[in-house]
Structure 1
Amino acid sequence: MFEIFTQLRWQDALDIGIIAFVLYRLIHMIRGTRAMQMIIGLVVILLAYVSSQMFGLFTLNWVLDNFLGSIILVIIVIFQSDIRRALTQFGTAPLFGGADRIERGQVLEEITKAVVSLATRRIGGLIVLEREVGLNEYIEVGTRLDARVTRELLESVFIPHSPMHDGALVIQKGRVAAARCFLPLSVDPNLSQAFGTRHRAAVGLTEETDAVAVVISEERGKISLVVEGKVIQDLEGPQLRSSLQRLFGT
């Protein structure tokens, strides 16, 4: 055993370190998501394949052997959203760019005030905050604004009968990038039937990116925060503010 360590080169240590880091990042990225559940399912299939060889279950072994023969294609199809999200993280800028903590805090405060006001008046809305993964593909199909984040602007966008009240408002690099942006709807069968289009759009986007979404329900006048496909419901103003501050490091 000791001889193995004495024969290790510095390149071997670097190689092991890189692989360990990549595996750690992958586990961290998929932890608590549907991808983790699917990986567990694939591990069970692999164990069944090994067991079929050990116990001579030839038919089961033949079926699993053919399935595992195309495992790379299966993984790409199953994890296409997660793979796309991981690849798009390279070379992208964070939400606030070079903004300092005070400026970030002011932006989040304006968002919180607007959301609470909309919820009080039971005006529905969907606000998306970009983080590391870029949202340009959704911004480009919306109505570009490139405006400073203010409570008044956010409220005016979602006023009923406003030409921009449909769709989502996207905040990028500390500014209102666009409104009337249409997002992918989640197809998760486990989502509550009580969720409407706004909630499903928020879940759909946050499943594919690391964005944070705030949903205001016009039916109930309630606020929801959506992160990584998970919906945190019935938030009050202070709870929303503290959650956003924690997510964006202010």
Structure 2
Amino acid sequence: MEWLQRLKTIYDIIRPVVDIALLAFLLYKAYDLLIKTQAVQLVKGAGLLALFYGIAYLLKLSTLQWLLTILGPGLFIAIAIVFQPELRKIFIRLGQGELFHPDSKPRIGQLEAVITAAEILSQQRRGALVVFPRRINLKSIMETGTRINGEISSSLIVAIFEFDGPLHDGAMVIQNGRIAAAGCFLPLSEQQDIRKSFGTRHRASLGMSEQSDAVILVVSEETGAISLAVDGKLYYDLSPLEVQRKLKELLDRGVRGGESEQTTAAPDNAVGSTIDDGKDVFVER
């Protein structure tokens, strides 16, 4: 049929464009994922091995080529073992649907309600953990707690984190402009060089930020400090205005397509200390 032939002709014309566009999208997402999980070192190691092998092949260095042929598989396995935590994070993020999962951010008024609650909790020295998912689905985290599906209000947040309450020690998840769940369990950070004064809440916030692209607000029960954790970094002891500005910026960027660690600036009242895996933990002066 003539119209089918026309469709086939049109498809043949646009097929290379579609092919290149999809490949570019997948390469960009793969690069973005590698950057966020710090697995770029894994790619660099594999690339270095391939470079040495290519040089040995072109220059006909038979001994080096033979040695790399023998040791190559073992070296790749060793690299995979060394970078096992990063590979696990990559597969976790892929399984959680980071590539295609859309997520809506809270409105300004809702953010203000959360920050007001954080101020109240800070003044009363009551700890809190609030998770703001971005593109990665945190359904598995919410299933560890109690479903709320309630409107965001400062009074409800303060009540949930009441001393000795059943949901006090867990984390609250705010998703799609509502309090989705509370009393949720978060994974603890795998970082070794963490400030000893940081308790379980701070370690859990860092752990959640390492395994997802979520932004986590933390209120310290010991000091009342309000902090933010994102991409394996902790921004410690921020003022309410800094929290509001940083939260809005991070959630906006998360919806638009993510943020790399290099683009996140430290607040004026914080300094960074580099730890073994290259991530920064910000501590008060």
Q: TM over 0.5: same fold?
A: yes
Separation of aligned partners in 2, 1:71 and 1:78: 11
Q: What is the aligned partner in structure 2 of residue 94 from structure 1?
A: 103
Query: Displacement of 1:77 after TM fit?
Result: 7.4
Q: CA deviation at 1:183?
A: 1.1
**TM-score (normalizing by structure 2):** 0.71
Query: Residue 202 of structure 1: which of 199, 202, 205 is its match?
Result: 205
Identity %: 34
State the shift of 1:247 in Å: 2.3
Deviation at 1:172, TM superposition (A): 1.6
Structure 1 counterpart of 2:70: 62
- 1:65 offset after TM fit, Å? 3.8
- TM-score, length-scaled by structure 1: 0.80
Rounded to whole Å, the distance in 1 between the matches of 2:26 and 2:99 is 14
Instruction: Give aligned pairs, total.
Output: 237
Task: After superposing the two structures, state which structure 1 stretch, 218-227 or 42-51, moved more.
Answer: 42-51
Pair 1:214 & 2:246 matched = no
For the Cα contact (< 8 Å) 1:49–1:65, is it kept in 2? Answer: no
Q: CA deviation at 1:52?
A: 6.0
Paired position in structure 2 for 1:138? 141
Of 157, 169, 172, which aligns to 1:169? 172
Q: 1:196 to 1:47 in 2, by over 3 A?
A: farther
5+ unaligned residues in a row in structure 1: which ranges?
Answer: 1-8, 97-102
CA contact (8 A) 2:115 2:243 kept: yes
Indicate yes or no: 2:192 matched with 1:183.
Answer: no
The higher relative CO (CA closer than 8 Å, separation ≥ 6) is in 1
- TM superposition outliers: structure 1 runs of 4+ over 6 Å: 69-77
Please report how far the alpha carbon of residue 200 of structure 1 lies from its aligned counterpart in structure 2 after TM superposition: 1.7
- SS of the residue aligned with 1:138? helix
Aligned counterpart for 1:84 among listed residues 77, 87, 92: 92
Provide the alpha-carbon RMSD of the alignment. 3.1
Please identify, of 129-138 and 160-169, the stretch whose mean Cα deviation from structure 2 is larger.
Answer: 129-138
Structure 2 CA distance, aligned partners of 1:20 and 1:227? 27
1:107 aligns with 2:110: yes
1:22 paired residue among 23, 26, 29: 26
CA apart distance, 1:225:
0.7
What is the letter of the counterpart of residue 157 of structure 1?
I
